[in-house]
């Protein structure tokens, strides 16, 4: 089980460490290595943006143990959509923390933000991520051919979406606002 809270400046060293892990950056369209100073600059602007919400997820059985970070970006009130991202602590892959964080983020987006659609992208070679999102109710909406430069090569990216009506039919869909922990 996880507990969510807003991303804080104290979380940034762990964020840099995770994103610089080959287990993470090999699966994402990011330029690694990230620096702590650059991440602090990003955080300063991100925390002020009304177009994104970034969260840290902790394991409730071990207080303070960070298991994932994620959020909703490119939030559009006009169009009612946002892009979801998730990064799991590389030492804890395969333990269900990513699935729990994705469910929490979707519940937050549809309930608190009133979104109509949540979407995300996966790298063309990341079959495991695509299967995970499909198990959670996301629908594959298509492939963007050779869309992203990744380690010097163009790679395909898949688009996945979850509509409010599809989310409402999920067994994990929340019926009331979620609680955010304060640190």
pLDDT digits (tens, 9 = 90+) for 101-136: 999 999 999 999 999 999 999 999 999 999 999 999
32, 15 contact by CB (below 8 A): no
Q: What is the pLDDT of the chain when averaged over all its residues?
A: 93
pLDDT of residue 129: 92
Termini Cα distance of the chain? 18
182 pLDDT above the threshold of 70: no
The rounded Cα 52 to chain-centroid distance in angstroms is: 11
CA atoms of 157 and 172, how far apart (whole Å): 27
Whole-prediction pTM: 0.93
pLDDT of residue 1: 87
CA atoms of 143 and 129, how far apart (whole Å): 14
CA atoms of 174 and 4, how far apart (whole Å): 15
Per-residue pLDDT averaged across 50-60, rounded? 95
Confidence of residue 33 (pLDDT cuts 50, 70, 90): confident
19 pLDDT above the threshold of 80: yes
96 pLDDT above the threshold of 90: yes
**Among residues of the chain, what percentage have pLDDT more than 90?**
77
Q: How many other C-beta atoms can be found within 10 angstroms of the C-beta atom of residue 38?
A: 11
28 pLDDT above the threshold of 80: no
**Domain 2-168 CATH (choose: 3.30.1490.20, 3.40.250.10, 3.40.50.2300, 3.40.630.30):** 3.40.630.30
CA quadruple 55, 28, 145, 141: dihedral, nearest 10: -30
pLDDT tens sequence across 131-158: 999 999 999 999 999 999 888 899 999 9
Q: Which residue has the higher pLDDT, 28 or 19?
A: 19
CA atoms of 33 and 98, how far apart (whole Å): 22
Per-residue pLDDT averaged across 29-43, rounded? 87
pLDDT of residue 183: 55
CA atoms of 158 and 4, how far apart (whole Å): 27
66 pLDDT above the threshold of 60: yes
Confidence of residue 38 (pLDDT cuts 50, 70, 90): very high
Q: Scanning the structure block, which residue is given the tokens 């549809």? A: 110
16, 39 contact by CB (below 8 A): yes
55, 64 contact by CB (below 8 A): no
85 pLDDT above the threshold of 80: yes
């Amino acid at each position: 089980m996880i507990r969510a809270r807003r991303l804080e400046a104290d979380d940034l060293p762990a964020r840099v460490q995770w994103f610089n892990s080959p287990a993470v950056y090999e699966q994402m369209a990011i330029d690694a290595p990230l620096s702590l100073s650059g991440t602090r600059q990003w955080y300063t602007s991100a925390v002020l943006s009304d177009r994104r919400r970034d969260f840290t997820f902790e394991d409730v059985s071990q207080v303070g143990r960070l298991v994932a970070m994620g959020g909703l970006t490119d939030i559009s009130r006009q169009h009612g959509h946002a892009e979801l991202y998730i990064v799991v602590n590389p030492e804890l892959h395969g333990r269900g923390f990513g699935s729990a964080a994705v469910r929490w983020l979707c519940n937050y987006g549809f309930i608190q933000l009133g979104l109509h659609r949540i979407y995300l992208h996966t790298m063309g070679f990341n079959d495991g991520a695509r299967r995970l999102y499909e198990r959670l109710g996301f629908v594959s909406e298509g492939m963007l051919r050779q869309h992203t430069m990744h380690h010097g090569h163009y790679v395909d990216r898949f688009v996945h979406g979850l509509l409010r009506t599809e989310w409402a039919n999920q067994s994990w869909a929340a019926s009331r606002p979620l609680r955010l922990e304060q640190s």
